[in-house]
Amino acid sequence: MPLLNAQYGGQGLTPDGKQVQIPPQIALCQRGPCVQVTIELADQIAQELIKRKEPLPKPSAGLALIDTGSISSCVDEEVAISMHLPVVGNINLASASHSSHRANQYPIKVTIQGLPMAFNAPAAIGAPLKVQGLIAIIGRDILQICCLIYNGSIGQFTICL
């Protein structure tokens, strides 16, 4: 069973500017479970482009937050636009902090670095994630085939297939 285990840690600044170590459980709590990912065009759409001898969009790499509160995976809207991903639908998107608004949906494939598999999300929601330092959110549409263990007491999480 492929497994990826991540242990958090880090450094922060005190109010007087002194650099200090941040305990792993605090670092994980502040950032959330994030993984390095590559975003590509979903397989089905990519195969259609290949058949038509059209170029595939260049993949994009960055951080993705694993979010059990998100029913659907998301892709940063700027990343989707820069990759020229096709819009495959629109959806009403609501969050804990924003009322419902229309959002584009894009066909993406997510590869988590360190795991030997990629996941297709044929209708990932476009959202402004760049402001959080993210290019994607891994939602329950992908997590439904994974095992996620969040061990906050030691600042560690594990994802496996």
Query: Alpha helix locations (H) across 20-160?
Result: 24-31, 43-51, 77-82, 140-143
pLDDT surpassing 90 at residue 47? yes
pLDDT surpassing 90 at residue 133? yes
Contact 113, 6 (CB under 8 A): no
Domain ranges of the chain: 33-145
Amino acid identity, position 48:
E
Local confidence band at 99 (pLDDT 50, 70, 90 cut-offs):
confident
pTM of structure: 0.90
Amino acid identity, position 119:
F
Say which CATH class 33-145 falls into: mainly beta
Local confidence band at 101 (pLDDT 50, 70, 90 cut-offs):
confident
- In DSSP notation, 108-135 reads EEEEETTSS-EEEEEEEEEE--GGGT-S
Output the pLDDT for position 67.
Answer: 96
Output the pLDDT for position 61.
Answer: 98
Long-range contacts of the stretch 6-11 (C-beta < 8 A, 24+)? 6/33, 6/35, 6/156, 6/157, 6/158, 7/154, 7/155, 7/156, 8/155, 8/156, 9/155
- What is the 8-class DSSP label of residue 57? P
Closest CA to 150 of 66, 83, 91: 66
